[in-house]
Structure 1
Amino acid sequence: MQTLNYEFPATQVARRAVHIGVVASGDLEILLAPPESGEPPDRATVRVRTSVNGFDTIWHDVLERFFARATLAGRWELNDFGATPGVVNLRLRQAAESATTNGADS
């Protein structure tokens, strides 16, 4: 198990906490919470827990591309069990959409 930590600049704050996906073979769970009082509202902090070691560069590249487009501040927790970059991007987009709308959690 490997844990990776990243920070990205953000211009929009998550409206609410969301839970997307599951930790299962080839899938990814994302927990996103708005910044707490006292935390900077202009940063996305991302912690990735992955069962697959050695993909630091790929994780960084996928997250950097995502946060270049979706600058959403909050505490992002990604729990991975072998998700492909396409699945990661899909789950990130789902979490961002859910956190910025008034709909129910997916």
Structure 2
Amino acid sequence: MEQFTLTLPSSTLPQDIIHTAICGVVSSGNLEVLVEPTATRNACEIVVNTSAHGFRDIWEAVLKDFAERHSVGGLRLSINDAGATPAVVSLRLDQAFETCAA
């Protein structure tokens, strides 16, 4: 297992519309994303637990793209991965964000 944490700058959603959410299932080739509000403003904290070693650069690219497309400041994302492709990671992040900001 490889674990790393990123803190990415991002604009902030109003706290009153952010809810805790979980999206996805950890299984072969998939992942789960847990989204929680946090006191950190103007940044998104992301913890990645992955079974795939040596792909941090790709993870960072996908996560930076996500933070640029959405206002995720004030959120903590916990990602548990079982070998998902970058496209699946992006899809699950979008789904989790839509769920927590609904």
Aligned partner of 1:96 in structure 2 is 97
Range with bigger deviation, 66-75 or 53-62: 66-75
Aligned partner of 1:33 in structure 2 is 36
1:29-75 Cα offsets, whole Å, 9 max, x none, are: 0001011xxx2222100000000100010001111111111121211
TM-score, normalised to structure 2's length? 0.91
Aligned partner of 2:82 in structure 1 is 81
Q: CA deviation at 1:10?
A: 2.2
SS at match of 1:23: coil
Whether the aligned pair in 1 keeps the contact of 2:9 and 2:43 (CA below 8 Å) is: yes
Count of residues in correspondence between the two structures: 98
Cα separation, 2, equivalents of 1:71 and 1:61:
17
Whether the aligned pair in 2 keeps the contact of 1:9 and 1:71 (CA below 8 Å) is: no
SS at match of 2:100: helix
Cα separation, 2, equivalents of 1:41 and 1:16:
16
Where do 5+ consecutive residues of structure 2 fail to align? Answer: none
Cα separation, 2, equivalents of 1:21 and 1:98:
12
Cα separation, 1, equivalents of 2:6 and 2:29:
22
**1:19 equivalenced with 2:22 (yes/no):** yes
Aligned partner of 1:55 in structure 2 is 55
**What amino acid sits opposite 1:56 in the alignment?**
R
Whether the aligned pair in 1 keeps the contact of 2:29 and 2:84 (CA below 8 Å) is: yes
Where do 5+ consecutive residues of structure 1 fail to align? Answer: 102-106
Cα separation, 2, equivalents of 1:71 and 1:54:
28
